[in-house]
Each structure stands twice: as C-alpha cells, then as structure tokens.
Amino acid sequence: MEVKFLHPLHGIPSKGLVLLTALVLTVAGCGGGGDSSESTAATPTIKAAQAKSGFDILANLDALKITTGPFAGAYQVGVGSNWLNWYFANIGLFAFINDRPNEVRTYMDLYIRNVSPTNYTINDIKFGGDLNSPIQCPADSNDSYASTFLSLASEYMRVTGDVEWFRRNLPTLKSIAYANLAVPQKPSGLISVFRQDYTPPTHPTYCASFTPSSIAYTEDNTENYRGLVDFSNALKALGDADSSYYNQLAISVAAGIKGRSDGSTFSVADSINTINPDFYPGTVTQVFTQLYEVPLSADTVTTQSQYDNGYAYLNAHAPTWSTQIDPGAGYPWMLLGYVAAKRGDTARAQQQMALLRANSGKAIINEIGFYKRILNAGVREVS
C-alpha cells in the first residue's frame, strides 16, 4: 500500500498522523454499507460526477454532530468515523454560523474547555465505539488548529453580534493565538507546525505515533495569516489595542509565504525548495494564497497575477479536478471549488459540487463546509 497521509490542508509524509486510507474506509459508510473499521482493504470505487436529488447540506452537517458523552456538541469527521478532529470541525462549521449559531457557540465552548491550560494546544479525540470513553490522540498541527479556531470565533462575533461571548473568552483566545502562532514564529515570518513543548498522549490501538517537527508548511501558514487577520479585525472592532500586534504578525507571515515562491509557484514547506509534483500537496498548495486571500505584493495587480498563476497550475496539472476525485485524495477537495467560485469560474465550481453530491459518502465535515461556502458565494446547484 502506498501510504498517503491525511490532512486536507496539511501533510507531506513527515507531518501527517493519520492514514488517508483509514478515513476513506471510515466515511465510505456514510452512504450505507461501508466498513467503519480501519483496515487496508481496497479504496471504494468512486462514481463519476452526477447530480443527486435530496442532498441536504444541513442534514449532512447535523448527521455528524456528537449527541452524547463528554464531547456532546462537537462533530465527527465523518458519520461513523469515531473521530473528533477540531481542525476539520473549525473549517466545516465556519460557513454554518448563520444557520446554526447556537450549535457553533456550543462547539466553541467545548473547544475552549479542552485546550491545555499550560500551552493552549488541543488534542484530537478518538472514540473506540463508545462516545462516553474518549481517547486523546495527537493533533495534526498546533498552528492550523489555533488559526482556524480564531477565524471561526471572529466570524461568529461578526455574524451574530454576540460580543459578550467573545469578550468573555478573549483571554483564552489571546492565549491560543500567542502560544500557537506568535511563540512558534520563525525569523522568516513563517510559523512552525508544532510547539516545541507539544507532547501529546498516544494510544497503541487508536492513535498514530507522534513525531515532533519544526517545519513550517505553506498551506498552514496561509491559514495562519487568515486567522491572525480575522482575529486582529475582531479585536479592532472591540477597540482592543492588541489588534495591531496580531496584524503585524500576519504581515510577517505573508512575507514568509511570499518567500516560498519563485514568482509563479510555491514550495510546500520551508524545508523544501523544489515544487512537489503530486496532486497533494504540491498542486493543491498553489491555490492556497487565493483561498485565504494572502497579499503577495503591495501591488494588488501583482498579487492577482500570482493567484492566476496558481489557478493555471492547478488546471494544467490536475485538469479533471472538478469532475473526478484524485485517486490519492479520497474526497473531492471542495476548497478547490471554492477558489473557483471566488474567481468567477462558476462552471468548475458547479461541477465539483455535483461531484460531492454523487459521492455523498465522501461528505466529511470539511468538505461540507467548503460546499456551503460555495453556496454562500452565490453559486447555485445544477443538475
């Protein structure tokens, strides 16, 4: 078996923690009949893109909600996955704040209760078939978990106007930002994937082994930029003087990301200077700056030109991304469709929406979240 490591926004082999094959087999059961155990059986056949009636995006989200046990109110990665990955959930819930504000608030309360009081990191949770017996496992990163949560919390305040929640939790939010994004920042401006003192628990049956790393990943850092900007903007709306500090951190991150580019393409990490030829992470990485609107120049025309280069690279090196699931990916990567929607490429965005509907067993929480972002961007579903 060729080992592929799971993380839709992370992961060259030295970083990933969970085998992609395990997730594909787990969520295959979402459409009925899939084996929910982690095994090395063959990956299920992926259907060609075709519209299916009755795809209810809110029902798909609600099906992932954990309803019992100490993590009630959080969300599994996929139906029957027995896996709570906070990063996936942060991304997935972002677009549903207007539809599920109370549920998002409950989830964020749960996240805050589970961060470490010493270094403000958080661990993944596995359930061995019993939602009342959670098992803590290593997170896939510290930086992106923190940054996507900051984006979620900031967007929650902006959309709902619930300033009281944000103010009440502001000391913890600032600690999450400082501990996971400011402290691990390198002189280049890029932020390391893990804190040096992150020593998560492991379990021989349910958890993958953990390898410390100080690598800074390009994709992570686009998320870090966005999380810092969103948090800075939220602080500015409250008149909090720390807004300028976190904005300056974001500016430094953007400079570091720019340093990973030759002007047209990006390397996937600061430990690698060549372009990765694989669909993931190499090809997918090229559109992340546009996904999270990272400025690559003081000149917006130059920034847009580099966004255009990234999208052209995607279409040249993965021309069927909107109509076929890459064999090594396991799911459509709906973030690509969201980039298409942001660019006005409605046809490809709609094609990829149809692809997820035709393969609804792949509708894991991050995929659902980006599907909803496409809808929120004004792109309608078509048959």
- Return d(Cα 279, Cα 327) in angstroms, integer: 10
User: What pLDDT does residue 8 have?
Assistant: 40
15 lies in a domain?
Answer: no
User: Token match 């847009």: residue?
Assistant: 304
The runs of H, that is alpha helices, within 66-100 are: 86-94
- For the record, the structure tokens of 155 come out as 């967007």
User: Does residue 11 form part of some domain?
Assistant: no
> Does some domain include residue 10?
no
274 domain-assigned: yes
238 and 280 in contact (C-beta within 8 Å)?
Answer: no
CATH code for the domain in which residue 159 is found: 1.50.10.10
pLDDT of residue 129: 74
List, for the chain, all residue ranges whose pLDDT scores fall below the cut of 70: 1-54
> DSSP 3-state assignment of 200?
coil
Distance CA 81, CA 126 (A): 9
Q: Which of 338, 121, 290, 155 is nearest to 230 (CA)?
A: 155
Query: What's the pLDDT score for residue 121?
Result: 98
Query: Is 112 within a domain?
Result: yes
Domain that holds residue 192: 20-376
Residue with tokens 């994004």: 181
Handedness of CA 350, 351, 352, 358 (dihedral sign): positive
- The whole-number pLDDT of residue 329 equals 86
105, part of any domain: yes
Q: Which residues pair with 266 in a beta bridge?
A: 261
The token pair at 274 is 């060549």
Among 8, 36, 58, smallest CA distance to 366 is for 8
**The pLDDT of residue 54:** 63
What is the domain count for the chain?
A: 1
349 in Cβ contact with 341 (< 8 Å): yes
pLDDT for 174 equals 98
Residue-level pLDDT at 351: 98
Coil, helix or strand at residue 31: helix
Whether residue 7 lies inside any domain: the answer is no
Note whether residue 159 is domain-resident: yes
Q: Where are the alpha helices (DSSP H) in 238-345?
A: 243-258, 284-285, 288-291, 300-317, 334-343
pLDDT for residue 181: 98
Give the span between the Cα atoms of 294 and 292, in whole angstroms.
Answer: 6
